[in-house]
Amino acid sequence: MKKLTLLLGALLLIVVTGCSGSAESGESDEGPLKVGVTAGPHEDIMKKVKEVAEEDGFEIDVVAFNDYVMPNTALDEGELDANVFQHEPYLNDFVDERGMELTKVATTINFPMGIYSDQYDDLDKLKKGDKVGLPNHSTGEPRALMLFEKAGIIELKEGVGVEATIKDIKKNPLDLEFVPLEASQIPRQLGELAIAAINTNYAMESGRVPTEDALEMEPKDSPWVNVIATQSDDKDDERIKKLVEYYHSDEVKKFIEEEFNGSVIASW
């Protein structure tokens, strides 16, 4: 009986000591912070963020997707802790349409949309009735129209802003034909169009250099800056705050500037 008592006491000491060591070291049993991104620049930048975080002993698991729906779906279902792939208008529309409790916690980068052409080297050469391509989704269309207005091609109804549609074109001096297309397919169909508005990531994937090949680009202060999103209940979580801190580091900003040569712009 005495031997059994001593054995139980030793086991209890081991358990207490083990628990105490874990608490004192500050180790977390939550595992890596899972962050969803889309393949391409977002993934490249998040890998740099992961590298910066690792130097501080903070672990990030980068999960890449190939579409704009699954990162939000996975976040809503708790498979991710955060995602970084979308601008705020897209997030707001997605949340409204699907009733999800997702929210922005910080801004990240901007991919300035550009106007491209295989036919013209100057927008002044546009001809009457030319076909103009633009993204067909709910945020891509107004974004392109605002860019066309900035370039002096059209004039929109006053105040439509990020809600603009083709029906809101007030003046179209050249009677241009606007052709809504799947955003990812526009670079492949550019040869059939006079000009088109193309998202930077798709322009880069097609071998174009936005700062060199675009005839016009969005300003740096456009409303289409990308964001870090998380579930609404987690917006003040300390781990999410750490993610923002690592993302907004000088090391990450320098990486963006050197890697993308102005085609991707840091928001901070």
Q: Are residues 165 and 233 in the same domain?
A: no
d(CA 219, CA 161): 15
* Judgement on whether residues 143 and 207 belong to the same structural domain of the protein: yes
Q: State whether 98 and 231 are in the same domain.
A: yes
Structure tokens at 242: 């750490």
- Would you say residue 23 lies in a domain? no
- Domain co-membership, 194 together with 119: yes
What is the CATH number for 127?
Answer: 3.40.190.10
**Tens digit of each residue's pLDDT (9 = 90 or more) over 168-198:** 999 999 999 999 999 999 999 999 999 999 9
Domain extent for 257: 33-111+224-266
Q: How many domains does the chain have?
A: 2
Query: Is 80 exceeded by the pLDDT of residue 15?
Result: no
**Is residue 18 in a domain?**
no
Does the model's pTM come out above 0.85? no
Residue 1 lies in a domain: no
Question: Token pair of 64, please?
Answer: 């890449």
Residues 130 and 211 in one domain: yes
The reply to whether 132 and 70 lie within a common domain is: no
Burial class of 226 by CB neighbour count within 10 A (0 to 12, 13 to 18, 19+): buried
Residue 28 has pLDDT above 80, yes or no: no
pLDDT at 73 over 50: yes
Q: Which of 113, 110, 105 minimizes the C-alpha distance to 253?
A: 110
How sure is the predictor about 24, in pLDDT bands with cuts at 50, 70 and 90? very low
82, 130: one domain: no
Binned at pLDDT 50, 70 and 90, residue 137 comes out as confident
- Most distant CA atoms of the chain, gap in Å: 101
Tell me which amino acid residue 181 is. L
